Structure 1
Amino acid sequence: MTGPGATGGRAALLDMDGVLVATEGLKEQAHLRALASFGYEGTPGRALYRSVMGQPQDAVEHAYLVEAGLEGRVAGARYSERFRREYQELLHERLELVPGARALLVRLSEEGWRLALVSSSLRWMVELVLARAGLASFFEAVVTGDDVEHEKPAPDPYRAAFRALEGPEHLRAVVLEDTGAGIASGRAAGFPVIALRHGWNEELDLSGAGRVLTSLEDTGAVVGALEAALEAGPA
């Protein structure tokens, strides 16, 4: 898939939440609102959301129900529907791009990179975010939590994205992630991985990435890091 010094097309396989859009705080708030709607009066600490970042949606919802003591009292489907209502409302009100994200996508597209989005979020979330943020047109392929049998940290999501982009030309790919599960997924799929450090993952272990960035705002530096990762190949 990739290799040091290889030639051919370049692809960037990008996570969504926390990497391109600042949605982690909105998701946490949607969970808190959903719990409150079922009578929970506590406030789970931010550590709970950080502990489940990058995991499949059903696992995240289960963690919140357990934390609130609502497991077995509130059906998972009811909680999912309430979370959906709350999250949709927050996306319409407060969705913001990560600083530098749009400029990065523009530059990568202009320089001929093939782009795929790879998210553990459910398809309805991804489609709504891409539409609201105006990012859908940048991506040739979109892989969501609904599209694979085994989600991150399994390699399936990134392998599926690469297969969707792969054509007659030799293609090299690099992953941009922000969670341990995502990094493990990209590495298991055979790709070099760059990580983005931000306020929501500042305590997470990102050491599995070949390099950790702290911002996307210096577009040239980010593209340079992606190119260097391609040249170096998988760790």
Structure 2
Amino acid sequence: MAIEALIFDFDGLLMDTETTLLDSWRWEWRQHGLELDETGFFADHGGDVSEARYAALAAAVGASFDRAASHARRTAYRERVHAGLGLSPGIAAWLGEATRQGLRLAVASSSGSAWVRAHLARTGDLSRFEVVACGDEVAAHKPDPAVYRLALARLGLDASRAVAFEDSPHGVEAAQAAGLRCVAIPNAFTPEARYAHADVLLPSAATTILSEVLARATRSKSRSNS
């Protein structure tokens, strides 16, 4: 069945906000003369876990910790970094190729709509996407497939007519649970071995043209159905 749409995760896939998130927390711990323990920093689910991270920092700092001041300082730092952040390598070329091929584009993210839309608007890419489905519009975050099902519903397409693109193992699980073929580009914080369930695994969007990626995804699905 012909592919009509591509559905992209946002954080870590379209834009590397995962690295800036980790960097902002490292930076904030260092403002207190401390070093962040990065073990398990990225949870195996989508959504915001900031409160747990602030609680850990508060426990390390002690009674002098000012949560409001810490949050304001950290987010201001991250916003300065984001001012120069663009699409991940190779993504712009993929989006251009998709447009030339007449493919429809969507986003399915566990992050909030305001966050996703603001970043894509800042880089001038929001108008490329016909559909934006986000975590604050569904009851559960990835690996639950709800946000992918929402994107498909808004596209008016069956899952067999779309391909998802993800950077995390739980994102791949969410896409496949929604019935989608999924191309994985592993983020820098997760071992590649955890992406064995992806239909296609790539080191970067810059290594392969989109038409070849989609051909590989289609062949992978055909083999799994045989």
User: Which of the five TM-score ranges fits, normalised by the shorter chain?
Assistant: 0.7 to 0.9
Alignment partner, residue 12 of structure 2 = 18
Give me the whole-angstrom Cα distance separating, in 1, the residues matched to 2:183 and 2:159: 21
Q: Structure 1: which amino acid aligns with 2:165?
A: L
Q: In 2 relative to 1, CA 154–80 (structure 1 residues): closer, same or farther, beyond 3 Å?
A: farther
User: Is the aligned partner of 1:136 residue 2:130?
Assistant: no
> How many equivalent pairs are there?
222
Q: Deviations over 1:42-70 (max 9, x none)?
A: 22244443x3275211x2x1342243244
Cα deviation code 1:190-230 (max 9, x no counterpart): 11211112433345711221221112122143243344456
Shift of 1:86: 3.3
RCO higher in 1 or 2 (8 Å CA, sep ≥ 6)?
Answer: 1
Aligned 1:177-188 pairs, distance under 5 A: 177-188=166-177
1:176 is matched by which residue type in structure 2? Answer: F
- Identical counterparts, % of pairs: 26
* Residue in 1 that maps onto 2:36: 44
d(CA) in 1 for partners of 2:19, 2:88: 12
The answer to whether the aligner puts 1:127 opposite 2:121 as a matched pair is: no
Cα displacement (A) at 1:29: 1.9
CA deviation vs aligned residue, 1:154-176 (integer Å, no higher than 9, x gap) = 11000000001116x99711111
CA drift at 1:182: 0.6
Q: Shift of residue 234 of structure 1?
A: 7.9
Deviation at 1:139, TM superposition (A): 0.5
The alpha carbon displacement at 1:34 in A equals 4.5
Q: Helix, strand or coil: the match of 1:97?
A: coil
Runs of 5+ consecutive residues of structure 1 not aligned to the other structure? 1-5
Could you tell me whether the CA contact under 8 Å between 1:187 and 1:234 is conserved in 2? Answer: no
2:98 to 99, 108, 111: 108
Partners of 2:216 and 2:136 lie apart in 1 by 30
SS in 1 for 2:194: coil
Alpha carbons of structure 1 residues 233 and 82: separation in structure 2 relative to 1, 3 Å: farther
Contact 2:199-2:217 at 8 Å conserved across structures = no
Verify: 1:153 aligned to 2:146, yes or no: no
Deviations 1:6-26 (A, max 9, x none): 34x511111112222122211
Shift of 1:181: 1.5
What is the aligned counterpart of 2:200 among 194, 198, 211?
A: 211
Out of 25-34 and 71-80, give the one that drifted further.
71-80
| Rounded Cα–Cα distance in structure 2 between residues aligned with 1:109 and 1:234 | 29
> Alignment partner for residue 82 of structure 2, among 82, 88, 91?
91
After superposition, the CA RMSD in angstroms is: 3.1
Which of 46, 49, 55 is matched with 1:55 structurally? Answer: 46
User: How far 1:150 sits from its partner (Å)?
Assistant: 0.9
Query: Which amino acid is the alignment partner of residue 197 of structure 2?
Result: G
Q: Distance in 1 between matches of 2:149 and 2:213?
A: 23
